[in-house]
A and B are shown apart, each in its own frame.
Chain A
Amino acid sequence: MIEFNEEKPIWRQIYDLVCTRILSGEWSEQSRIVSVRELAADVGVNPNTVMRSYEKLEGDRIIYNRRGIGFFVSEGARGHILEIERTEFLTGELPAMVERMRLLGITLEEFEHRWNQLQNDR
């Protein structure tokens, strides 16, 4: 039986929250984002947890820290995020989806057909 985490750890959810805000344009590149304490107080999460998320974001070059001033969105952050999420999708969600398709007996043709339908709807 595969072990999986039913929900993501909180620090991960904060990480995703920051990424979402950057992708949506709410936080634009080179602009300052809320401090660790402000975000913690905003969502009701321990500041150490938020700090951990920020450290990971920094490590993934999505944000950077200017000492004494705060955290800023890195240049090219949107690109980084999309890249990371693409990789996550291709290595995680996609194989799971393909496995499920195989289980349900959905063929590539059926998939392509539905894909085209959805593209036309947009």
Chain B
Amino acid sequence: MIDIKRLSFGYTAGHNVLNDIDVLLDGGHIHGLLGCNGIGKSTLLKIVCGLMRPTRGSVTVEGEDPARRSVGMLRRMMIIPEEFALPSVSLDRYARLTAPFYPSFSAEQMTYYCSELGVDISAKLHNMSMGQRKKAYIAFAMAVNAPILLLDEPTNGLDIPSKSVFRRLLAGYADEGRCIVVSTHQVNDVDSLLDNIVILDREGVALNATTSEICRRISFGAVDPARAVYTERTVLGEAGVAANTSGEDSRLNLELLFNAVTADRRAVASLLENR
């Protein structure tokens, strides 16, 4: 659904924020877009929305160039930005003003999401705390039922119970025909949701693999230090990342995976290639 080909982008000439990104994000999955702060995850999402054009390479969303910002495409896509302000109206009012632009919106679903997340539909959005505002907008955005849902740091600002509710709601939103992209550095908040992991680093896409591939080929945790491609000290001792030779799927540890890829992307990539 979202096809990114050899995309590079820089806000100013000569200084690229994104380098040679090549990835296909297809429907029926919840993709995790991971990377250090400032690596360009938000920038990539903005390009997918058509707010900016790539300096090199291309991006197509359901076969269309998002930069054209056609109404047909915009209706099928919803982005929940990391930081945003909402007008001085209630969520109820906001929905009545904005929903007419989205034919697939369901007021019933928004009410359901609001009750699950603990959002008062008649409270002024303007005055809400950051976390409440986020939840309110998440409720609205998910009720739009867009086939493409982009979330930029959705759990930032959410309290622990809300994060859990959010996980359940997003799991319920996932569908065959829907492409969900969660960009985050809080990997632990979403690890049960993701089934495709894309890790970005300065050179481009450091990793692009499904969680089942990763769990089949890679072991995490108490691994033989001699065979580990990466180790780190944890509270419980040394934890590492190594090839999975047990024949059984491992338990994915996204934090370890991320740290390993950051430390040595080629080593991790080689674990996925060998066969």
* A residues neighboring B (CB under 8 Å): 1, 3-12, 37, 40-49, 52
Select which of A5, A37, A46 is within 8 A of B194 by beta carbon. A46
A-B CB pair tally, cutoff 8 Å: 80
Select which of A3, A9, A44 is within 8 A of B171 by beta carbon. A44
Interface hits, B167-185 → A, CB 8 Å? 167-172, 174-175
Give Cα distance in the complex from A40 to B167, angstroms: 10
Select which of B28, B164, B251 is within 8 A of A9 by beta carbon. B251
Q: How far is the CB of B188 from chain A (nearest CB, A)?
A: 13
Query: In the bound complex, do residue A41 and residue B192 qualify as a contact, i.e. CB atoms below 8 Å apart?
Result: no
Select which of A3, A4, A46 is within 8 A of B193 by beta carbon. A46
A-B contact pairs, 12 of them (CB 8 A): A3-B242, A3-B244, A4-B222, A5-B220, A40-B174, A41-B169, A44-B168, A46-B30, A46-B174, A46-B194, A47-B171, A48-B195
Question: Chain B residues with Cβ under 8 A from A4's Cβ?
Answer: 221-222, 246
Give Cα distance in the complex from A1 to B246, angstroms: 13
Q: How many B residues have CB within 8 A of the partner chain?
A: 34
Identify the closest chain B residue to A49 (Cβ): B195
Query: In the bound complex, do residue A9 and residue B224 qualify as a contact, i.e. CB atoms below 8 Å apart?
Result: no
Select which of B168, B224, B245, B246 is within 8 A of A41 by beta carbon. B168
Select which of B168, B212, B251 is within 8 A of A7 by beta carbon. B251
Query: In the bound complex, do residue A3 and residue B192 qualify as a contact, i.e. CB atoms below 8 Å apart?
Result: no
Select which of A1, A8, A40, A47 is within 8 A of B224 by beta carbon. A1
Give Cα distance in the complex from A31 to B159, angstroms: 38
Question: Chain A residues with Cβ under 8 A from B245's Cβ?
Answer: 3
Query: In the bound complex, do residue A10 and residue B192 qualify as a contact, i.e. CB atoms below 8 Å apart?
Result: yes
Question: Chain B residues with Cβ under 8 A from A3's Cβ?
Answer: 219, 222-224, 242, 244-246
Q: How far is the CB of B84 from chain A (nearest CB, A)?
A: 24
Question: Chain A residues with Cβ under 8 A from B164's Cβ?
Answer: 44
Question: Chain A residues with Cβ under 8 A from B221's Cβ?
Answer: 4-6
Identify the closest chain A residue to B253 (Cβ): A6
Does B273 belong to the interface (CB within 8 Å)? Answer: no
Select which of B195, B244, B251 is within 8 A of A8 by beta carbon. B251
Give Cα distance in the complex from A12 to B174, angstroms: 20
**Can you add 11 more A-B contacts, CB < 8 Å, to A9-B215, A44-B171?**
A1-B224, A3-B223, A5-B249, A6-B220, A6-B251, A9-B250, A43-B192, A44-B170, A45-B193, A47-B174, A49-B192
Does B248 belong to the interface (CB within 8 Å)? Answer: yes
Does B29 belong to the interface (CB within 8 Å)? Answer: yes
Query: In the bound complex, do residue A41 and residue B172 qualify as a contact, i.e. CB atoms below 8 Å apart?
Result: yes
Q: How far is the CB of B220 from chain A (nearest CB, A)?
A: 8
Question: Chain B residues with Cβ under 8 A from A43's Cβ?
Answer: 168, 171, 192
Q: Which 7 A-B pairs have the closest CB atoms?
A: A41-B172, A44-B167, A44-B168, A7-B251, A6-B221, A9-B249, A40-B171
Q: How far is the CB of B10 from chain A (nearest CB, A)?
A: 34
Does B252 belong to the interface (CB within 8 Å)? Answer: yes
Q: How far is the CB of A96 from chain B (nearest CB, A)?
A: 14
Question: Chain A residues with Cβ under 8 A from B171's Cβ?
Answer: 40-41, 43-47
Identify the closest chain B residue to A47 (Cβ): B174
Q: How far is the CB of A121 from chain B (nearest CB, A)?
A: 34
**With A45-B193, A46-B195 in contact, do A52 and B212 touch (Cβ < 8 Å)?**
yes
Question: Chain A residues with Cβ under 8 A from B242's Cβ?
Answer: 3
Select which of A8, A9, A40 is within 8 A of B172 by beta carbon. A40
Question: Chain B residues with Cβ under 8 A from A37's Cβ?
Answer: 172, 174-175
Question: Chain B residues with Cβ under 8 A from A52's Cβ?
Answer: 212
